[in-house]
Amino acid sequence: EETGKGEFDHYMLKEITEQPTSIAQTIEGRYDPRRGSVSFDACEPETFADIDRVVLAACGTSYHAALYGAIVLRRAGVDADAILANEFGVSAPPIDDRTLVVAVTQSGETADTLGALRAASRAGATTLAVTNVIGSSAAREADEQLFIRAGPEIGVAATKTFSSQAIVLTLLADRIATASTGSSSLPIDDICADVDRLPSLVETLLNGSAAESVARRYRGERAFFFIGRGLGYPVALEGALKFKEITYEHAEGFAAGELKHGPLALVTPETPVVAIFTGTEDEKTLKNAEEAATRGAPIVAVCPGGHDAVSLADAHLSIPDVHPMLSGLLATVQLQLVSYHAANLLDREIDKPRNLAKSVTVE
């Protein structure tokens, strides 16, 4: 086990740091940055020709990637929704032979997600597994497979698999939209050009991150809130999940616009608010962050340097400028680092948090 961690104290930090490589593996051969086109080695366009709607089913971090994917699919012009796999049996949207159900699961063994996949097959849907594990149950049982190629992830807290899932789903959205509706509203040439830059942008971010000092500064606060809009919303949920999972501190993620509909009652000078800016309707998110700042909450802005949010914020986690469809991925890496350092300062069992397992094989 020690050998596997190399120079790192924890697998989690190793896996966060591996993201330039894991992302490069994920994208290799799957897009053409010059022609701005997606080319998968699987999932031929015919697979999606008769699809009217897409339902993504997943749990935990994979669910947040599924939410990310659903937003990109809708922006591409496809009717799409993400649903918690454990809610699938009781509240799935209508599913028939014109539905594509995508099971998003790192391990490919999550019982809840396999349950959704099987229910979708029984209802006549086309099924697709987006997974990291070749030969996993999800990969074997689904009609189609897309592997995220993130490499083995040992830490219970999912990190590099989230970025790889979100990238695969972003590229897949264009493929599905083009095949099923005849066109995609995504600016895929711009996206592909920036997908090409992602490994080096993540490297830059990792080398200059202020995450450790942010974690140190807010150590011991009463609760931590994460807010974001659009693609920043699943990133906020994921930031909060990671934080609570490994620090055992109270953390919640909210859609930025929802803060004023209830959660604002929780905001005090003892509750740092981490505001994620992904380049879409940022002025509204800034107003939401201001509402929290007015109640005395310290604001941690996750945004590029030079962004208007930097002057409002007490602390800044910088992300490189990139296409708004991809900036949430970079924000997630900063949030993974903050959680890691916060948990490390508290001396938590980072790779094996209490009560949790890497793969949950019971319903």
Positions that interact with ligand AGP (CB under 6 A):
59-62, 105-107, 110, 113, 156-158, 245, 359-360
d(CA 56, CA 176): 13
CA distance 346 to 354: 14
Residue nearer to ligand AGP on the CB measure, 33 or 151: 151
In the complex, what is the shortest distance from the CB of residue 108 to ligand AGP, in angstroms, rounded to a whole number? 7
Least distance (Å) between residue 148 CB and ligand AGP? 10
Strand runs labelled E in the chain: 31-32, 37-38, 53-58, 79-84, 99-105, 126-131, 144-147, 224-228, 251-255, 273-276, 299-303, 315-318
Residue with token string 């796999």: 85
d(CA 186, CA 190): 9
Q: Is 9 helix (H, G, I), strand (E, B) or coil?
A: coil
Considering the complex, state which of residue 153 and residue 194 has its C-beta at the smaller distance from ligand AGP: 153
φ, ψ dihedrals at 300, nearest 5°: -110, 115
Tell me which residue has its CB nearest to ligand AGP: 60
CB of 153 to ligand AGP, least distance (A): 9
Least distance from ligand AGP to the Cβ atom of residue 22, Å:
15
Q: Would you say 59 or 92 has its CB closer to ligand AGP?
A: 59
Pairing of strands 126-131, 144-147: parallel
Query: Whole-angstrom Cα distance, residue 114 to residue 256?
Result: 32
Residues labelled catalytic: 358
Least distance in angstroms from the C-beta of 231 to ligand AGP = 18
Which residues 6+ apart lie within 8 Å of 221 measured at CB? 249, 270, 271, 272
Smaller CB distance to ligand AGP: residue 107 or 180? Answer: 107
Residue 26 vs 288, nearer CB to ligand AGP: 26
